[in-house]
Amino acid sequence: NCIACKYTDCVEVCPVDCFYEGENMLVIHPDECIDCGVCEPECPADAIRPDTEPDMEKWVEFNRKYSEMWPVIITKKDQMPDAEKHDGEDGKLEKYFSEAP
């Protein structure tokens, strides 16, 4: 749900700086994340889910792939201009995802 929103509240609370920034979303490096969970309630879009939930394997690999391509982000930035409009929208991966950093 982060795609086209890119709220960065989560970045400020992460104790290990495991968030990486793409053009229109953030990803978490699964090997750097310590599973503390402190970022989950910070996300206004409820986009951060534990990797222990069912069917999360594809998202773990998605996050791994792009966290190895994109730069780390350690400070909060403004969300995307239309973040509130896109929050909760279905099909955002197919409609808006960009591989660009």
pLDDT tens, 68-90?
999 999 999 999 999 999 999 99
**CA torsion angle 37 22 71 33 (round to 10):** 20
| d(C-alpha 71, C-alpha 101), whole Å | 7
Residue 53: per-residue pLDDT = 92
Give the pLDDT of residue 18.
Answer: 98
Share of the chain above pLDDT 90, in %: 98
Question: Percent of the chain having pLDDT more than 70?
Answer: 100
pLDDT at position 58, please? 94
Q: What is the pLDDT of residue 27?
A: 98
Return the half-sphere exposure (C-beta side, CA atoms, 13 A cut-off) of residue 71.
6
Q: What is the chain's mean pLDDT, rounded?
A: 96
**35 alpha carbon, distance to own chain's centre:** 14
Q: Can you tell me the distance from the alpha carbon of 16 to that of 72, in angstroms, rounded to the nearest whole number? A: 11
Q: Is 21 helix (H, G, I), strand (E, B) or coil?
A: strand
Mean pLDDT of the region 53-62: 94
Is residue 21 very low, low, confident or very high in pLDDT (cuts 50, 70, 90)?
A: very high
